[in-house]
Structure 1
Amino acid sequence: MPLFWRIFQLNAVVLVAATALLLGPVTVSTPVLLTEAAVLTVGLAAMLVANALLLRVGLAPLKRLARAMATTDLLRPGARPAVGGHGEGAELIATFNTMLDRLEAERATSAARALTAQEDERHRIAQELHDEIGQTLTAVLLDLKRVAKQAPEPVRGHLYDVQETTRASLDEIRRIARRLRPGVLEELGLTSALNSLTTEFTSSSLSVRRQVASDLPSLGDNTELVLYRVAQESLTNTARHAGATRVDLTLEHTPDAVELRVRDNGRGIDGTTEGSGIQGMRERALLIGASLTLGPTPDGGTQVRLTVPTRHRSQ
């Protein structure tokens, strides 16, 4: 039972008992006069209504606090419940707001450490794929080419097939390494990296159209990496799960913000549970103080929007 009704019932028991006493042994008239009973009944009803209103006003801060506690999500920072009233209720709301501030700061710090470690690990794996496995497969290709020239005709055809399979595997490993470590982002910048990314996802079944502003403001390495990773994850989700035939990637800017939008014409995300990929995008957005929204499009697809404030940005 809610706290409001528990307190109201306790007060009602006291008031009803007091009224009963007035109508019984404490009454000034015996027998009870009809006018006295009417006055006491009306008075009791008035006191109960006043009690309910006062309790509703007094417990309103706690109700706001309970609603805020039920809807708080550290991946979606929102407004804090207003500190109203006096006494323990206001103190409790202020303490809750302070706790949220501390939790969000601690989560942002831990997310930054985790994402930095993740990027370092991706860099290491990509380097090993390129230096170790890539070079090994390149040597295998050269050996196959030499052996195929010396092999008899029936065997030569099989060796050529193995050579093509090995070459395809080498290309796939290089593609994976590029996704793990976007070297084009470090060398040529965000615009070239997004152009390369959309070209990589374009296929016979998926058309990726891009519109990237050429006069983007200076964003910093961390911000550019977050924008690239969100675009990469959005395109990956579209290619794997959306069943879309068209994706539009747009990167625009205003005097105060840079906005990335990835919009597809797939089946949408209504009713689906957010996976680790979307949660990772939200954590990356929090890392640079950006806001991330996902929602349906008018034609039933999905739109991912990342808005990065640029005013006074230092990283």
Structure 2
Amino acid sequence: MDRDLLAHLPIVLTVARRGGFASAAAALNMSPSAVSHAVKAVEDRLGQPLFVRTTRSVALTEAGASFVASVGPALATVEESVERVRSAKGQVAGLLRLNMPRLALPLAITPAIVAMSRLYPDLTIEITADESLVDIVADGYDAGIRLGEMIAQDMIAVRLTPPFQAVTVAAPSYLEERGVPDAIADLAGHNCIGYRLISSGAAYAWDLQDEDGRAVSVAVSGSVRVTDSLYARELALQGVGIAYVFEPLVREDLSAGRLRRVLPAASIEEPGLFLYFPRNSSGVPKLRAFIDTLRRTLRLS
């Protein structure tokens, strides 16, 4: 094996996963020119281009896609082997890449991250807060966190939270000014803080249930639309309008009276948050350490 070629392969994979040289350079703490040089060195040795470069985008060629598909799993196996040896010496090290919606951080993850930073100083945890559904294997993540119903069946899933409701809430000041809706149809006359789905670009219709317990999808309108439920909560606290959020995010606000439930009978139950990862990764030391730390901090059985 050409040792120079081998050294550059992780850079090629990062460019492919990040979709650009600048993004890859930031992730690798390298300059864009150094990343470009490394990719060109690999292309020169292989005798054909791996990427199509334009002024606006970087995409894999057919040969590049085939190369990345073959090399990626091989390098992952090497990295896992190195980490297993380190683990035998009591070491958990390397880079743990996680993908999750931002709401998972306060609900389940932050205490574990704090504990991990103290227990495993040689481990770097990289968290991508992403509301869209991603292929964690194709994008180079070790694990992801999503609602249970959004996880592929070929993944191992670890429950992080109990089921919880998706609720509609508003500040007392808003309800005093605009009135309290008595039925789902009344939402049409209210300022509802909407969501824009990042993955599809569509406006999100609220999932509720009618008086007979049937699921209904309700298109709402208002003066603000966001992509982040934590910001929807913040706007609701400021009296902007009615927000649709997961109940654990506003539990303290409801107890303190800063927010009030709206149409509580229309709330649906979600399955809760789950950590998920490929079956062949369950024994990887850095992931195993993260799971064990989550179990302790969340008091999971």
Q: Same fold (TM over 0.5)?
A: no
Greater RCO (Cα-Cα under 8 Å, separation 6 or more)? 2
Write 1 or 2 for the structure with the bigger share of helix. 1
Interval of TM-score (by shorter of Structure 1 and Structure 2): under 0.3
